[in-house]
Chain A
Amino acid sequence: MDEKLLLEILQKDARISDANLAKMLGATEAEVKKKIAELKRSGVIVAFKTYVDWEKAGEQCLTAYIDVKVTPQARTGFSEFCEALAANDKVEEVMVESGEYDVTIKLRARDLKEVGNFVTEILAPKKEVTATYTRFVLKKFKENGVALADAAKEKKLVISA
């Protein structure tokens, strides 16, 4: 079975049935099931999630990126700080990066106030934090590998020769 192809298909559509996967990969359903279980166990498949447009679901939504300067700690470096942030439900991404800032956080909040609270009450008081720089997302064109803009919509002929 072409493992890379299996992963590519699942990355686009995690809900595709085992039966359809089996057809595409020239394998049996049982083999596909076993392979997926194996890939989950070994951590190659990290998670199956649904990408939700919360605004369309009627929720208020504001995405912010917060760059943070962090003083690395003895023994743990940035890890302890980052792990603590990662445990927060509102935090979608925590990345240690090269450059002027050390860590970037992607935060999904309801509104400006919630972002403000997060920065001033959760982030800034941490002893390792020496500076923060908050950026707000104004419009999304692609997220999680999914193109969102209207331009990405089909403009091809329904039937052509």
Chain B
Amino acid sequence: MISERVRAVPPSGIRKYFDMASREKDIVTLGVGEPDFDTPSCVKEKGLEAIELNRTHYTGNAGLPELRERIAQKLKAENAIHVGVEDIIITSGSSEGLDLALRTVIDEGSEVLTPDPAYVAYGPLIQLAGGKPVYVPTTEKNEFRVKAEDIRKRVTKKTRAILYCSPNNPTGSVLTKEDLKGIAELAIEKDLVVISDEIYEKLIYDEEHYSIASLKGMADRTITLNGFSKAFAATGWRVGYAVAKGELLESMYKIHQYCMLCAPSVSQYAMLAAFDDPGSIRQMVKTYDARRKLLVKGLNEIPGITCHMPKGAFYAFPNITGTGLTSEQFAEKLIKEAKVALVPGHVFGPSGEGYVRCSYSVSTETIIEALDRMGKLFS
């Protein structure tokens, strides 16, 4: 009954730990992958207003023109990406945009290069589109930044695209402008599409975010994915956007028309207000930054654990090899013996082995409590 293609995709590696953690009482979690802030009030009010005004029907397939206009302004001002409303599709979360992008560029057996470790959905979505994920290992020594030369070694005749996320989930790594230039040169030379997942762009601490689409020669071969979930603490609203030019965008649009029709209308109206309150993002980033330092410094005080300072997103990715445990053993021990939930690194790809992902998108008290419990377990 079930297709070979779906059979071939492994079940979510996170599920097991979710079930395990859900069974425990008094659990303290560093396992969350979403902001712990609330959606800004101005967005919520706009959403309520949309319901009251019966803005509850389909919108145009590509999404509200006024929202796309705001996004175009934002892309110009913040990302140096110069596009019109016709180059933007509003998607149901950036996840949908990712699926559209992959289905657009992948033929049966096509290869997509993606850093390892990376977001858990990349590999499976590439497979579901009929392609083959080719992982490019990244290392702690290199701050988990994917290098163009490492990508280059894995380019074959079947390679269609490079997919990466910066800032990265789970490592918190941020690609520098030089890194991006290297990737851009390679993409142009080998005629590859670049799928740039920029969902964490606002959550960046010591560096600046650059969009690869803004680099010379890249506008026509880049699909930029972004959304409102992380920057506006709005994961449940399901609004993202995909940005590309010409045939790339038209092809994604074709799939989107058939499979999604449009992103949730109420949510789209609500997000019209998202750009009105830049102060809320600044405040959020400041708070994350303080928690980041608390968590990373605290982790480094625990015997057997060392942790580099992540530059973006809201994850620390400590090295736990000093405890003598595998990622899996570590995560299970923590849930069972310390009642602390986190995500073992190997679910993000083979290079994640020896690491675990700890989210600091939780309250200061939660971080302190989790560190305390971990400290007691390993001292």
Residues of B within 8 A of A158 (CB): 18, 21-22, 27, 29, 31-32, 341
Closest to B21 in A: A158
Q: How many residues of B contact A (CB 8 A)?
A: 30
Contact B14 A161, beta carbon cutoff 8 Å = yes
Residue contact B14 to A160, C-beta cutoff 8 Å: yes
Instruction: Determine, out of B79-87, B288-296, B316-324, the stretch whose residues face the partner at the interface.
Output: B288-296
Is B12's beta carbon under 8 Å from chain A? yes
Say yes or no: A13-B21 contact (C-beta < 8 A), given A159-B14, A159-B32: no
Distance in angstroms between the alpha carbons of A16 and B364 in the assembled complex? 9
* Distance from B123 Cβ to chain A, minimum over Cβ atoms (Å): 12
Which A residues lie within 8 Å of B14 (CB)?
159-161
Chain A, interface size: which category? 10 to 19
Across-interface contacts of B29 in A (CB, < 8 A)? 158-159
Tell whether A23 is near chain B: CB-to-CB under 8 Å.
Answer: yes
Find chain A residues with CB under 8 A from B63 CB.
none
What residues of chain A lie closer than 8 Å to B365, measured between beta carbons? 13
Distance (whole angstroms) from the CB of A160 to the closest CB of chain B? 4
CB-defined contacts of B298 to chain A, threshold 8 Å: 20, 23
Of the residues B34, B36, B119, B364, contact of A12 by C-beta under 8 Å: B364
Are B18 and A157 in contact, CB atoms less than 8 angstroms apart?
A: yes
Q: Given contacts A16-B368, A161-B12, is CB(A156)–CB(B27) below 8 Å?
A: no
**Chain A, range 117-161, C-beta contacts under 8 Å to B:** 156-161
A160/B364 contact (C-beta < 8 A), A5-B290, A23-B293, A23-B294 known? no
* A157 CA / B31 CA spacing, docked (Å): 9
Which residues of chain B are within 8 angstroms of A20 by Cβ–Cβ distance? 294, 298, 364, 368
Binary per-residue interface labels of chain A (9-28) against chain B in the complex, 1 for a CB within 8 Å, 0 otherwise:
10011001000100111100
A160 near B31 (CB under 8 angstroms)? yes
A24-B27 in contact (CB<8A):
no
Cα distance, A96 to B39, chains bound together (Å):
34
Question: Which of B22, B120, B121, B294 has the most chain A CB atoms inside 10 A of its CB?
Answer: B294
**With the chains together, A16 CA to B32 CA distance in Å?**
23
Residues in A neighbouring B33, C-beta threshold 8 A: 159-161
List B contacts of A156 (CB < 8 A). 32, 34, 36
- B297 interface contact, C-beta 8 A: yes
C-alpha spacing A22/B22, complex, angstroms = 33
Q: What residue in chain B is nearest A12 (Cβ atoms)?
A: B364
- Please give the distance in Å from A43's CB to the nearest CB on chain B: 24
User: Which chain A residue has the least Cβ–Cβ distance from B236?
Assistant: A156
* B17 located at the interface, meaning its Cβ lies under 8 Å from any Cβ of chain A in the complex: yes
A24 touches B293 (CB 8 A): yes
Chain A residue numbers with a CB within 8 Å of B169 are: 161
Smallest distance from the beta carbon of B159 to chain A beta carbons, Å? 26
Q: A159-B341, A160-B33, A161-B33 are in contact. Are A24 and B290 (CB under 8 A)?
A: yes
B 113-126 binary contact with A (CB < 8 Å = 1; else 0): 00000011100000
A24 to B287, CA, bound (A): 9
Closest to A17 in B: B368
Which residues of A sit under 8 angstroms from B36, Cβ to Cβ? Answer: 156
The chain A residues found within 8 Å of chain B, CB to CB, are: 2, 5, 8-9, 12-13, 16, 20, 23-26, 156-161
20 A–B contact pairs at CB < 8 A? A5-B286, A9-B364, A12-B364, A13-B364, A20-B294, A20-B298, A20-B364, A24-B293, A26-B293, A156-B36, A157-B18, A158-B22, A158-B27, A159-B17, A159-B21, A159-B29, A159-B31, A160-B33, A160-B34, A161-B121
Identify the B interface with A (CB < 8 A).
12, 14, 17-18, 21-22, 27, 29, 31-34, 36, 119-121, 169, 286-287, 290-291, 293-294, 297-298, 341, 343, 364-365, 368
Instruction: Using A20-B294, A20-B298 as known contacts, list a sample of 20 further A-B pairs with CB atoms less than 8 Å apart, ordered by residue number in A.
Output: A8-B287, A9-B290, A9-B364, A12-B364, A13-B364, A13-B365, A156-B32, A157-B18, A158-B21, A158-B27, A158-B341, A159-B29, A159-B31, A159-B32, A159-B33, A160-B14, A160-B18, A160-B31, A161-B119, A161-B121
Closest 4 CB pairs of A and B: A159-B31, A24-B290, A160-B33, A23-B297
